[in-house]
A and B are shown apart, each in its own frame.
Chain A
């Protein structure tokens, strides 16, 4: 597995089906606030922005975690959250520059997209084709990843 989610903001209709699908698949309940992908609709509804973890190379969210629950998986390069360790301090939620981390206020733990282990459910249900699961390498200049890197590269 070496893919990444890419969102096409112009195709996104803002239907938020992905949020429902994600929460059902991951939490077994239709509860969009507990989804790992979120659609932010700006005032006026003109821009719709799907946000999810971008699996940055040098993530600030992993640095701020007081219990080292956010770690990079060395084999896949994904930034994964160990929910057993998470104490729900929300430091990673505040630190992500890209709205990539959600918060589950039922279990009091952070929410992070793990790409459904290579088979993301949201992609399958996005009728507009706004979310795509693509090979990671052809997108080294993916705008959001590049922006994240520019923001903070030690």
Chain B
């Protein structure tokens, strides 16, 4: 009997296990993880911190669900060593022999060696345990370092809990990987209006205090802090690998082919720990998003069980709620397009803002505050990569669809932009 082992029980690992189960009903599917909990959604930890949902709602599966699906689950069993030659995984109290392996170890928080990170009250937010720690923390002042979606959502959640929140960002804007300056400023103003202090262009030098966190020293000021939430980014979790066992990509994630197979025969990888291709820009990189992990997991799991499925690439769409209004972004930022070819269109309307990023006459990115369905509506046009000038000069037809409808509403401006 084939043994398909899956390391990691996040969404990628779980989807891989399900897919392997469906593809090969006879194989043994074994999931091992260092996490003490069955699958939970890391995306909604902020809702839990803010008391919008009870703790049990964070969980998406119970241990019994896995048993019912015919998946053997080994919780709290960190893999200490891996031997690809012998097809073995080693734990502190035993070993597991597999025929096929799926690596879905996910990511871990990026923590540079800043002095003071070992103090009580320093939380690198990633897991449910970290969220529990934040909920138990006492005090008045919270400092959030990093303004990615996790940082912003954590700041909002802590504000809801009554903390006085300051946010420190090294770059010139909030949500720097999702929005260009104009929309980032809109969101920054909204955060500030609701009482969150934002400090941009500041670098954290030290976490102050004795055994407990008492403050954060940046290159411009010292901020008082009873808790420090560190969310400057994630890196692939690759402690399982020894030097040279798998080829890594330039971004530091595991390199996989279209079938999510690694450079080792019989080993697949999926989720935050792999690098993938962005369907819009064609660039390869780390795109650690829930749906990418899910879809990659399905492909990796099915292929580990003998299927031949292909992963088309990642669609990097992100939605974030900033105090009751949504903002979303997909594709390339204007700051990532070379200045010679870059064109942008920024529209403000009563219901929000729309920011289109174009490379010559090709739509490369869409950012929106409010009415975020416009972002999805334009995905199709971005993926087709059509010359928009030709499309817009053509007479409108009822079969245009919602995406082109958005562009037709700004047709004059776009054509003017194209010259």
Contact between chains at B60 and A68 (CB < 8 Å): yes
Give the interface segment out of B92-100, B161-169, B370-378.
Answer: B370-378
Interface of B is mostly: helix
Bound CA span A87–B48, Å: 10
Q: Which residues on A sit within 8 Å (CB–CB) of B379?
A: 95, 97, 151
Q: Is B405 interfacial (CB-CB < 8 Å)?
A: yes
Contact between chains at B403 and A97 (CB < 8 Å): yes
Within B147-199, which residues are at the interface with A (CB < 8 Å)?
none
Q: Is A55 interfacial (CB-CB < 8 Å)?
A: no
Contact between chains at A63 and B299 (CB < 8 Å): no
Within A71-95, which residues are at the interface with B (CB < 8 Å)?
85, 87-91, 93-95
Q: Which residue of A lies closest to B296 (CB)?
A: A154
What size tier do the contact residues of chain A reach? 35 or more
Q: Which residues on A sit within 8 Å (CB–CB) of B290?
A: 63-64, 66, 91
Contact between chains at B317 and A42 (CB < 8 Å): no
Contact between chains at A47 and B396 (CB < 8 Å): yes
* With A49-B402, A64-B290, A151-B380 as contacts: A99 and B373 at CB distance below 8 Å: yes
Within B88-109, which residues are at the interface with A (CB < 8 Å)?
none
Q: Which residues on B sit within 8 Å (CB–CB) of A23?
A: none
Q: Which residues on B sit within 8 Å (CB–CB) of A103?
A: 326
Q: Is B383 interfacial (CB-CB < 8 Å)?
A: yes
Q: Is B353 interfacial (CB-CB < 8 Å)?
A: no
Q: Which residues on B sit within 8 Å (CB–CB) of A128?
A: none
Q: Is A121 interfacial (CB-CB < 8 Å)?
A: no
Within A83-134, which residues are at the interface with B (CB < 8 Å)?
85, 87-91, 93-99, 101, 103, 105
Contact between chains at A154 and B310 (CB < 8 Å): yes
Q: When the two chains form the complex, which single residue of B44, B310, B326, B396 contacts A46, counting CB atoms closer than 8 Å?
A: B396
Contact between chains at A152 and B312 (CB < 8 Å): yes
Bound CA span A89–B402, Å: 22
Q: Is A2 interfacial (CB-CB < 8 Å)?
A: no
Contact between chains at A154 and B299 (CB < 8 Å): yes
- Interface centre among A42, A43, A94, by most B CB within 10 Å? A94
- Interface centre among B311, B312, B319, B400, by most A CB within 10 Å? B319
Within B37-71, which residues are at the interface with A (CB < 8 Å)?
41, 43-44, 47, 52-53, 57, 60
Q: Is B401 interfacial (CB-CB < 8 Å)?
A: yes
Kindly list the 4 A-B residue pairs having the minimum CB-CB distance in the complex, ordered from nearest. Answer: A66-B43, A63-B291, A94-B328, A9-B398
Residues on A lying within 8 angstroms of B by beta carbon are 9-10, 40, 42-43, 46-47, 49, 51, 60, 63-64, 66-68, 85, 87-91, 93-99, 101, 103, 105, 143-144, 147, 151-154
Residues on B lying within 8 angstroms of A by beta carbon are 41, 43-44, 47, 52-53, 57, 60, 289-291, 294-295, 298-299, 309-312, 315, 317, 319, 321, 324, 326, 328, 330, 368, 372-373, 375-377, 379-380, 383, 396, 398-403, 405, 408-409
The 14 listed contacts between A and B (C-beta, < 8 Å) are A9-B398, A47-B400, A51-B402, A60-B315, A89-B44, A89-B321, A94-B319, A94-B330, A95-B291, A96-B376, A97-B376, A98-B377, A99-B373, A154-B310
